[in-house]
Structure 1
Amino acid sequence: MDTDGGPTRETLEALIGDRIVGWVRLAPWSVMRCHLEQTRASVIVKWRRSGAVRSDHRQILVEHAGLTFLQDIGVASGPRLLASDLAAGVLVLEDLAPRRPLDLQIGEAGVAAAWPGLAAFARATGEMAALTTGRGAAFGACLIRSGASPIDQRSAEAQATLAMMRRLDALGLPLGRPVEGDLETAFGVLQAPGPFQAFSNGDCEANNFLTEGGEGRLIDFEAADFRHALVDEAAMHVPGPAWLSVAGPSQRAELEQIYRTALATGVAAAEDDAAFGLGMAAACLTRACERLTRFARLEDRPRGDSSRLQMISALEAAAEAASHHRRLPHLAGWARRAGSWLRRRWPDADQDLGQLGPYTPRSRA
Structure 2
Amino acid sequence: MSLNASLPPVHPDIRRELKHQLLSMSARSFEFFAGDFLVYAGLEAVSVTRYIGDGGIDALGNLVAGQFRIPIGIQVKRHRSNVQRPDIDRFIGALSGRFSDGMFMTTASYAPSALQKASSSIPRILTLNGDQIVSMMVEHHLGVKPSTFDAQKLDIDPDYFSAFESMRRLLVGHLAENTQNYVPNGTSETQSIDLKPEEDLISLNALGYALRVDPARVRRWVEQEALQPDATQASGGRANYYFRRDRIELIRQRFGLLSTPTSSDEWKQEFLDFAKSRNLSRSYKPVMIKAFFQLVDREGKVQIDDLVRIFRDHYVQQIRAGQPLEQSSSLMVDPLGVSDQAIKRLIITNPLERFLIKNFIVYDPDEGILQIAPQLWRELHHYEVMDTLKHADEQLRYYISRQRT
CA radius of gyration, larger in: 2
Which is helix-richer, 1 or 2? 1
- State the TM-score, normalized to the length of structure 1: 0.28
Compute the TM-score of the two structures, normalised by the length of structure 2.
Answer: 0.26
